[in-house]
Amino acid sequence: MQDRVPAQFDDGAELISEVGAAMCTALDQGNAVVLIAIGTHRQLLETELSVRGIDIVEALGTGQYVSLDAPETRSAIIIDDSLDVIRFAEVIGAPIDRAAEQHGRVLIFGDLVPLMYADGKHTGALPGKLVRG
């Protein structure tokens, strides 16, 4: 069985443009976007959204766009070097649930899983019972 490693989210202009386009499409359609990324990636993507005509302040205010800092989020859900499913549900699941209740579909992008892999915390990075269809 091969070990699966998530694709790295880098700050290449093409990737930022592609992710920004997908986020913009979701927001334009009235769906929500949850971004869990490092500061540089969040800044680049928010700039991309603004260039494409998205009002970031309004989207944040309505809960249509949720932006979480990946290192802070990782610290909040890792307890004693293990993923805490209760904290995961509170810190990540609750904002996703709120966004879904208010806006229907939710598009999620980010750096969290690659950060956990880099830290060696990839076993159980996303427990099956927490993955939603």
Question: pTM for the whole thing?
Answer: 0.81
Q: What is the pLDDT at residue 81?
A: 80
pLDDT of residue 117: 77
Residue-number span of the structural domain to which 85 is assigned? 13-120
* 2 lies in some domain: no
3-state secondary structure the chain: CCCCCCCCCCCCHHHHHHHHHHHHHHHHCCCEEEEEECHHHHHHHHHHHHHCCCCHHHHHHHCCEEEEEHHHHHHHHEECCEECHHHHHHHHHHHHHHHHHHHCCEEEEECHHHHHHHCCCCCCCCCHHHCCC
Q: Is residue 82 part of a domain?
A: yes
What pLDDT is stored for residue 112 in this prediction?
A: 84
pLDDT of amino acid 2: 40
**What pLDDT does residue 12 have?**
77
User: In total, how many domains does the chain have?
Assistant: 1
pLDDT given at position 113? 79
Per-residue pLDDT of the chain (133 residues; tens, 9 = 90+): 344 444 455 557 888 899 999 999 999 999 999 999 999 999 999 999 999 999 999 999 999 999 999 999 999 998 888 888 999 999 999 999 999 999 999 999 988 878 877 777 655 555 544 444 4
Residue 39 lies in a domain: yes
CATH of the domain at 43: 3.40.1010
Residue 6 forms part of a structural domain: no
In a domain, 7, yes or no: no
